[in-house]
């Protein structure tokens, strides 16, 4: 798997986005059959342009 250039140094974000793209829609379709409301909270979100200052 090749990491796109915009994700270099943020590989964990790329992995998370791939995982969400593959499974979140299916999960919502399954859960949505039984629940009227679905709430998704991204606990791993962070500032995209954050840089550690040295």
- Residue pLDDT, tens place only, 24-42: 888 888 988 888 888 877 7
CA distance readout (Å), 36 to 17, 20, 32, 33, 54: 25, 21, 6, 8, 48
pLDDT at site 45: 64
Question: How much is the mean pLDDT over the chain?
Answer: 80
- 3-state DSSP assignment of residue 23: helix
Cβ(47)–Cβ(19) below 8 Å:
no
- Count of CB atoms within 10 A of residue 49's CB? 4
Nearest-angstrom CA–CA distance, 37 and 22: 21
């Amino acid at each position: 798997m090749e990491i796109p250039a915009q994700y270099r140094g943020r590989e964990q974000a790329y992995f998370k986005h791939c995982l969400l793209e593959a499974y979140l829609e299916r999960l919502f379709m399954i859960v949505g059959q039984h629940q009227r409301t679905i709430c998704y909270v991204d606990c791993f979100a962070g500032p995209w342009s954050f840089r550690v200052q040295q």
